[in-house]
């Protein structure tokens, strides 16, 4: 075999190896990605049905319900336009409270309830996740506030 043929074979094998490594890396990254959605996006069916994603917003005041003798809690997350019910089993972060920002990670059930496997609370008084802040700002610009919720279209339900 001539040196030129050996170089071409080596270059071909290198390209195949780099392609295989790139494919494995991209596949591994795709399986670990969890996109962020607001309650409005979830209720507009923009969130994936059978995939883990993050849901963020504010914990609606008066909706935190703890099941007796269990670590299961139910609460609602809102972006001041729409509200999604959340169920979580586990220990909540110390900073978790009603009316404060939260980001949850989990799946949306067929019953419309978001089953969280992880709950993250804000870390100080000023922090709101950027995605939640933009959604809240949009809702505020449209005149939607907790004291002035949007009226649902005729025949629709939250």
Cβ neighbours of residue 155 closer than 8 Å, sequence gap 6 or more:
none
Question: What's the sign of the alpha-carbon dihedral 117, 122, 127, 128?
Answer: positive
Mean pLDDT score across all residues of the chain: 82
Q: What is the pLDDT of residue 9?
A: 93
The pLDDT value recorded for residue 87 is 95
Tell me the pLDDT tens digit for each residue of 46-94.
888 778 899 988 998 999 999 988 999 999 999 888 999 999 999 988 8
CATH 1.10.10.60 for the 36-141 domain, yes or no: no
pLDDT at residue number 45 = 86
% pLDDT > 70, the chain: 84
Full DSSP string of the chain:
--HHHHHHHHHHHHHHHHHHHHHHHHHHHHHH---EE-HHHHHTT-S-SSS-EEEEEEEPTT--EEPTTSSEEEEEEE-SS-EEEEEEESPPPTT--TTSEEEEEEEE-TTS-EEEEEEEE-SSTT---HHHHHHHHHHHHTT-BTTBPPPPPTT---
- 119-to-55, 82, 143, 151 alpha-carbon distances in Å: 10, 19, 29, 29
Q: Tokens for 154?
A: 């005729």
Tell me how crowded residue 130 is: count the other CB atoms within 10 A of its CB.
10
Q: Which residues pair with 57 in a beta bridge?
A: 102
What is the rounded CA–CA span in Å between residue 81 and residue 152?
10
Pairing state between β 83-89 and 36-37 = unpaired
């Amino acid at each position: 075999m001539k040196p030129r043929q050996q170089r071409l074979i080596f270059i071909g094998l290198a390209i195949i190896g780099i392609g295989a490594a790139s494919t494995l890396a991209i596949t591994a990254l795709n399986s670990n990605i969890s996109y962020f959605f607001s309650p409005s996006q979830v209720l507009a069916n923009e969130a994936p049905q059978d995939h883990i994603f993050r849901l963020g917003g504010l914990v609606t005041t008066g909706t935190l319900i703890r099941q007796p003798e269990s670590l299961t809690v139910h609460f609602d997350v809102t972006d001041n336009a729409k509200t999604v019910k959340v169920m979580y089993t586990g220990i909540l972060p110390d900073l978790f409270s009603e009316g404060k920002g939260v980001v949850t990670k989990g799946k949306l059930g067929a019953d419309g309830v978001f089953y969280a496997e992880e709950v993250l609370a804000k870390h100080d008084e000023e922090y709101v996740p950027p995605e939640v802040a933009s959604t809240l700002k949009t809702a505020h610009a449209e005149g939607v506030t907790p004291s002035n919720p949007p009226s649902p279209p005729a025949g629709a339900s939250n």
